Amino acid sequence: MNNDIIINKTVSFVKDTLKNAESGHDWWHINRVWTNARHIAAAEDCNLLVVELAALLHDIADSKFHNGDEEIGPQTAGNFLKTIDADAQTIEHVQQIIRYMSFKASFNKSGFHSPELAIVQDADRLDAIGAIGIARAFAYGGHKNREIYNPEIEPNLNMSKEEYKSSTAPTINHFYEKLLLLKDKMNTAEGKRLAMERHEFMEQFLKQFYSEISLPSLF
Ligand code: ADP
Ligand code: NI
């Protein structure tokens, strides 16, 4: 099967599988990550088919919504790729990327590395920052019924994996706990450049947010 057909079949599978997904991990998140990944890949030496398949399948089954089972994503992706006769090497590489690209896995320095993983990881991180990242954070917080802001609850910069998963902190804290840290975790030159722009936009947003909260005339 040629690569275009493989990609088209994967797009259909992902759209169909994610049709009831919450807004932060819906088809449009996948579509943005796919676009980011192709953009970054254009300047990198890599296997484009692996990059595109991993971008398309990276959130096919999020462990957060499957009792923390970290293998559910790679397994679902692998099972699908077998049905369209992708070759074994491609399948294995895509599965490794899905396994290792999460924020949590990035703390595991001894894990798997490849140029394709670096690209897709950057593509996904870009969608967590900037204007889109702000929208996704508040959408996720709303989905979880979190407060937008509560000055009595300080950001926790040293959360363990478990605390991070079960955190009920206000959404604004998530900027300090994760989103503002992402620009220093980018792998590729183009990823870093785009992350810097989006980071600056988030800083501007936070500045405005806090200025609106403490209107001096009220005191
Ligand atoms: P990833 O897809 O990289 O694993 P997550 O699934 O943790 O990322 O998060 C998906 C989206 O939800 C991101 O935009 C992220 O910022 C947002 N999000 C995750 N956890 C929180 C949280 N505690 N508060 C607000 N937004 C969150
Ligand atoms: Ni994602």
Residue 131: pLDDT over 90: yes
Q: Is the CB of 103 under 6 A from ligand 1?
A: yes
Q: Is the CB of 58 under 6 A from ligand 1?
A: no
Q: How far is the CA of 179 from the centre of ligand 1 (A)?
A: 9
Classify residue 118: in a domain, yes or no: no
Confidence of residue 171 (pLDDT cuts 50, 70, 90): very high
pLDDT of the residue at 9 = 98
Whole-number Cα distances in Å, 52 to 5, 21, 58, 94, 120:
12, 20, 10, 9, 8
Considering every ligand atom shown, identify the ligand nearest to the alpha carbon of residue 148 and give its number: 1
Q: Is the domain of 92 the same as that of 172?
A: no
Tell me the percentage of the chain whose pLDDT exceeds 90.
75
Residue 21: pLDDT over 90: no
pLDDT of the residue at 106 = 59
**Amino acid present at 152:** E
What distance in Å separates the CA atoms of residue 202 and residue 133, rounded to the nearest whole number?
9
pTM: 0.91
The last residue of one of the domains, among 108, 141, 174, is: 108
CATH number at residue 6: 1.10.472.50
Please tell me the total count of domains within the chain: 2
Confidence of residue 2 (pLDDT cuts 50, 70, 90): very high
Name residues whose C-beta falls within 8 Å of residue 136's C-beta, 6 or more positions apart in sequence.
23, 24, 29, 127, 128
Predicted complex: ipTM over 0.90: yes
